[in-house]
């Protein structure tokens, strides 16, 4: 039987040779799939995230449908926040909405550490999934401190992050205390998943690209690095969007793999990330809407540029868009798997 440790995904994380780049898609478990929309009916997003049977089914759907080389746990970056008592909901078409946004030092008391008993459904689902998945690795994940802080402070999604930056520039002591607490909660959430058997973890710092390199280094990187340092025993992936100017710093933050969006070509991204790291990415999710010959050329180009890196995990540059045709994703997997030139 194929061995999990020797899976192409884990080999690429370790920067070992693989016959082709492993491929999975951020947000592969989600609205692009009719079978997802069917099983989600009657539950809010966060209700679904608390039911082990639903977590399992939705996590497995893209593995069955696309033949991807890794599964990602169906959950959300705000699940651990809700589990420690934050009043948060995920509003369809908007994203996480926080009832009482965080602005002051006193708000820190609302962020206790996460204990495994806060998320029993996650441990249960991960344990059962690792059995079900056999040789296919399961990726666990958490939100990075900055991205979580942005939701908490703004009260919801923001393009400009002005309240977040106001706190960052105006009250550094509260800022660092807040990010420190969020790193502890995220570390606890990753540890629950690792103890239950995930094969790798990804830290999503989706909105880090809103910062200059100097501000990232001073105000954010120490907390992401602390989160990454808390993880041992499994490969770590560190991802953000619009991070072209941050890739060198992200490469130094402690992950084994740095995820990149489509704005920087993968060979250049690997150069910025530096030696001793693999890269993950980076097809523009909107290219899934282009004619197949155009898309196929870009897939091949991404694979070719990835060969210049020490390790490459094929992915989109951000999540699957909800209107994506699932058959296009299946064809991408097939094409990447047929690109078998020696790495
Ligand atoms: O990748 C996967 O397939 C695993 C599951 C996963 C979800 N969210 C499920 C989800 C992962 C890894 C996430 C992470 C996440 N959540 C991030 C980081 C990744 C990124 O996209 O940058 C962020 C920023 C969030 C916060 C969040 N949750 C947003 C912005 C939204 C979209 C809201 C909307 O309706 O457009 C969500 C909801 C969400 N998380 C959905 C899924 C499948 C859709 C909910 C639904 O089906 O109604």
131 three-class SS: helix
Mean pLDDT score across all residues of the chain: 97
Could you tell me the strand order of the sheet in which 138-143 lies? 71-72, 138-143, 200-204, 236-239, 257-259, 278-283, 312-316
Q: Residue 342 pLDDT > 60, yes or no?
A: no
Q: Does the residue 2 lie in any domain?
A: no
Nearest CA to ligand 1 atom 40: 76
242-267 per-position pLDDT tens digit: 999 999 999 999 999 999 999 999 99
Total domains in the chain come to: 1
Task: Give the Å distances, CA to CA, from 170 to 166, 173, 304.
Answer: 6, 9, 45
Nearest CA to ligand 1 atom 43: 30
Binding site membership of 76 for ligand 1 (Cβ less than 6 Å): yes
> Tokens 């592969």, residue?
28
Binding site membership of 49 for ligand 1 (Cβ less than 6 Å): no
Distance of CA 49 to the CA centre of its chain: 16
Query: 169 catalytic, yes or no?
Result: no
Query: 300 catalytic, yes or no?
Result: no
C-alpha of residue 76 to centroid of ligand 1, in Å: 6
Tell me which of 14, 27, 271, 298 is the catalytic residue. Answer: 27
Ranges of H-type helices in 209-322: 213-215, 221-229, 247-251, 266-273, 292-306
Domain ranges, residue 292: 8-338
313-341 per-position pLDDT tens digit: 999 999 999 999 999 999 999 999 999 87
Q: Does the residue 343 lie in any domain?
A: no
Numbers of helices and strands, H then E, in the chain: 15, 9
269-296 per-position pLDDT tens digit: 999 999 999 999 999 999 999 999 999 9
Assign residue 16 a region: left if phi > 0, alpha if psi is -120 to 50, beta otherwise?
beta
Query: 31 catalytic, yes or no?
Result: yes
Q: Residue 343 pLDDT > 50, yes or no?
A: no
Contact by Cβ (8 Å): 125, 132: no
Q: Does the residue 3 lie in any domain?
A: no
Q: Residue 51 pLDDT > 50, yes or no?
A: yes
Query: 298 catalytic, yes or no?
Result: no
Tell me which of 36, 66, 151, 216 is the catalytic residue. Answer: 151
Q: Residue 97 pLDDT > 80, yes or no?
A: yes
Which whole number is the average pLDDT over 162-179?
A: 98
The partner residues of 236 in beta bridges, in order of sequence, read 201
**CATH number for the domain including 70?**
3.20.20.210
Dist. CA 199–CA 151, nearest whole Å = 28
Which H or E run contains 85?
none
C-alpha of residue 46 to centroid of ligand 1, in Å: 11
65-95 per-position pLDDT tens digit: 999 999 999 999 999 999 999 999 999 999 9
Query: 151 catalytic, yes or no?
Result: yes
């Amino acid at each position: 039987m194929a061995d999990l440790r020797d899976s192409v995904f884990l080999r690429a994380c370790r920067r070992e040779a693989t016959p082709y780049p492993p491929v999975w898609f951020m947000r592969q478990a989600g609205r692009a799939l009719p079978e997802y929309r069917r099983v989600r009916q009657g539950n809010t997003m966060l209700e679904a995230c608390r039911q082990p049977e639903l977590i399992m089914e939705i996590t497995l759907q893209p593995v069955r449908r696309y033949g991807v080389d890794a599964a990602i746990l169906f959950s959300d970056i705000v699940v651990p926040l809700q589990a420690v008592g934050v009043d948060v909901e995920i509003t369809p078409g908007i994203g996480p909405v926080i009832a009482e946004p965080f602005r002051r030092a006193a708000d820190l008391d609302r962020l206790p550490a996460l204990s495994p008993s806060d998320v029993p459904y996650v441990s249960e689902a991960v344990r059962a999934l690792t059995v079900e998945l056999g040789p296919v690795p399961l990726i666990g994940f958490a939100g990075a401190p900055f991205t979580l802080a942005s939701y908490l402070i703004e009260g919801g999604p923001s393009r400009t992050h002005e309240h977040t930056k106001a706190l960052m520039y105006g009250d550094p002591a509260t800022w660092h205390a807040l990010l420190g607490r969020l790193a502890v909660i995220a570390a606890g959430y990753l540890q629950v998943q690792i103890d239950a058997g995930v094969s790798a973890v990804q830290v999503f710092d989706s909105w880090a690209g809103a910062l200059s390199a100097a501000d990232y280094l001073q105000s954010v990187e120490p907390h992401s690095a602390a989160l990454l340092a808390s993880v041992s025993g499994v490969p770590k992936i560190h991802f953000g969007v619009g991070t072209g100017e941050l890739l060198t710093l992200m490469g130094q933050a402690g992950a084994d793999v740095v995820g990149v969006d489509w704005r920087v070509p993968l060979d250049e991204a690997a150069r910025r990330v530096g030696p001793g790291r693999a890269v993950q990415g980076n097809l523009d999710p909107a290219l899934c809407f282009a004619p197949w010959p155009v898309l196929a050329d870009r897939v091949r180009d991404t694979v070719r540029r990835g060969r210049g890196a020490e390790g490459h995990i094929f992915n989109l540059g951000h999540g699957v868009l909800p209107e994506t045709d699932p058959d296009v994703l299946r064809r991408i997997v097939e094409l990447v798997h047929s690109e078998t030139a020696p790495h």
